[in-house]
Amino acid sequence: MLGAMAQSDRQIQEKDRCQACKGTGWTWWAPEAEPGGRWIVCRDCIGTGRSDQNGRKRQMPAERPS
């Protein structure tokens, strides 16, 4: 998942990455009642991908996680 990280111009160092989304800024949400699923902004980093919540929101990933 980290290899296809959004916004390659903003590489986040391992120590600074959000632990919930691993630096992506988005998490995959697939409730049992809803077929498929969708990307939602990570609640822990508010979409920045950084543990300190500084920076602009990262772009939503193009494909669903494997």
Confidence of residue 7 (pLDDT cuts 50, 70, 90): low
pTM value surpassing 0.75: no
Question: Is residue 28 in some structural domain?
Answer: yes
In a domain, 4, yes or no: no
Number of domains into which the chain is organized: 1
Condensed to tens digits (0 to 9), the pLDDT of residues 18-50 reads 999 999 999 999 888 767 889 999 999 999 999
Q: Does residue 16 sit within a domain?
A: yes
Q: Give the span between the Cα atoms of 31 and 3, in whole angstroms.
A: 26
Domain that residue 17 falls in: 12-54
* 65 within some domain: no
Task: Kindly state whether residue 60 falls inside one of the protein's structural domains.
Answer: no
Q: Is the pLDDT of residue 6 over 80?
A: no
What pLDDT score does 58 carry? 92
Instruction: List CB contacts of 14: < 8 A, sequence separation 6 or more.
Output: none
Is 43 among the domain residues? yes
- Does residue 31 belong to any structural domain of this protein? yes
Output 25 or 55, whichever has higher pLDDT.
25
Tokens of 58: 């990262």
